[in-house]
Structure 1
Amino acid sequence: MSKRIFITGAGRRLGKTLAQHFLHQGWQVVAHFNSACELETHPALTAVQADLSDPASIRALCTQLKTLGQFDAVIHNASCFVPDAAATDLAQHIAQHQNVHVTAPVMITDALKSQWADDAAMISISDIYADIPNQRFAVYCAAKAGLQNWSLSMAQRLAGKVRVNVIQPGPVQFLPEHDDAYRKKVLSQSLIGEELGYGAIVQACDYLLAARAVTGTVMRVDGGRFVANRYDQTFS
């Protein structure tokens, strides 16, 4: 029987790339998406919709997951990345980030507590901002730091049953709205100095899912940006 993995935020970007990768590897993939799913239909793909900023929607997703059998792996990838200056309602802004990055992973993991396969693994996608915060995204940074800290607690709680690790991406993949000046400045703050692409995160996930001696680890996949220097927080 093929292995089963659940990936949040799998409708596009990094999550889509991860879902496609594991489908190609022969996994059964349960792919969560919020509003849009760019994945093509596949016999091994189950797409599930939920708004992870809404606790009621998270609860409905958890109920659905309980009907899908055992899971060999979970990747908490879904993310909300909004600058504080763009918030029109600060309380809602805080709740949105906390629900997506902390509440949803906590509730999903609790829902799956009796559905872990042998030698299961869980990965949380945090951010280098969890350790070197950016004041423009203070609420986002705090939420990612919460995800990271909770994940390390889960490595303790689930010891012997589920290996739990964290990946801290840096700017591995630029978005279309990032102009040349932005890209050059970011890459100048990297030791590798190249756009690594989503494949860098896929490689890290493959390693952490297979490495049976690794748990409670925070892995930086940032081209060395964390140790290159401290970034300028003011450029846009």
Structure 2
Amino acid sequence: MTKRILITGGGRRLGKTLSEHFLNEGWQVVAHYNTRSELEEHPNLSLVQANLSDPDSIRNLCEQLPGLGPFDLVIHNASCFVPDSAAQDLAQHISQHQNVHVTAPVMITEALADSWSDAASMISISDIYADIPNQRFSVYCAAKAGLQNWSLSMAQRLAGKVRVNVIQPGPIKFLPEHDQAYRERVLSQSLIGEELGYGAIVEACSYLIKAPAVTGSVMRVDGGRFVANRYDQTFSS
């Protein structure tokens, strides 16, 4: 039987790479997106739209999901990454990050309570900032820490039914707006010292879904940045 996966934020960047990987592996892919999807049409691809910063939109998504299952794997990948200095309304800034990183995964997982396949897995994409926060992104860091803690609680609650693990990316893929000086500064704070690429996360997910003894774990995919040093939080960009 063909396996089925749900990926939030599955239409762009890391989510797009994950979606394409599982499509190439023969999976049925349900890819959530917010404003746009960059995925090409595929017979095994279903797209679902929702603004995960809006609880009503999350509820509408949750109503659709059971009919698209059952799921062998769910990856909570959707993310919101805004520096505190850019917030025009602090309450809205907090709500946006919490809804995307905590409220949406909680509600989606609850909606799928009866929609898991046998030996299913769930993976949450956290961040090394969940353990070593950056004061410039305090709200983002708090939300990712919440996602991580909740995920480990789900490993307990869903034990025997769904294996739940967390991946903490580090400097995986720079954005176009990151200049060369910024990139060199970040990579100087890792042990590998290279931009790892989205493939590093794909490989981590592939391992976790094939490792029947692994649940309740937090896997760092950061090139060793977590243990390299306590990074400088003050440089720009």
User: Paired residue for 2:234?
Assistant: 234
CA distance in 2, matches of 1:116, 1:35: 27
User: Paired residue for 2:25?
Assistant: 25
User: Paired residue for 1:39?
Assistant: 39
CA distance in 1, matches of 2:170, 2:220: 8
SS at 1:142 equivalent: helix
Q: Are 2:74 and 1:78 aligned?
A: no
1:106-162 deviations in whole A, cap 9, x for unaligned? 000000000100000000000000000000000000000000000000000000000
Query: 1:2: how far off?
Result: 0.5
1:161-217 deviations in whole A, cap 9, x for unaligned? 000000000011111111000000000001000111000000000000111000000
Name the aligned partner's letter for residue 172 of structure 1. Answer: I
SS at 1:121 equivalent: strand
CA distance in 2, matches of 1:78, 1:69: 19
Name the aligned partner's letter for residue 23 of structure 2. Answer: L
Name the aligned partner's letter for residue 19 of structure 2. Answer: A
User: Paired residue for 1:136?
Assistant: 136
Aligned sequence identity (%): 81
User: Paired residue for 1:194?
Assistant: 194
CA distance in 2, matches of 1:110, 1:229: 38
User: Paired residue for 2:126?
Assistant: 126
Q: Give the TM-score of the pair, scaled to structure 1.
A: 0.99
CA distance in 2, matches of 1:187, 1:87: 28
SS at 2:232 equivalent: coil
Alignment of 1:47-86 (within 5 A): 47-86=47-86
CA distance in 2, matches of 1:210, 1:35: 32
SS at 1:160 equivalent: coil
User: Paired residue for 2:218?
Assistant: 218
SS at 2:141 equivalent: helix
SS at 1:122 equivalent: strand
User: Paired residue for 1:98?
Assistant: 98
CA distance in 2, matches of 1:72, 1:207: 15
Query: 1:69: how far off?
Result: 2.5
CA distance in 2, matches of 1:178, 1:207: 30
Query: Structure 1 segments of 4 or more deviating over 6 A?
Result: none
SS at 2:58 equivalent: helix
CA distance in 1, matches of 2:108, 2:39: 22
RMSD of the alignment, in Å? Answer: 0.4
CA distance in 2, matches of 1:33, 1:209: 23
Name the aligned partner's letter for residue 132 of structure 2. Answer: I
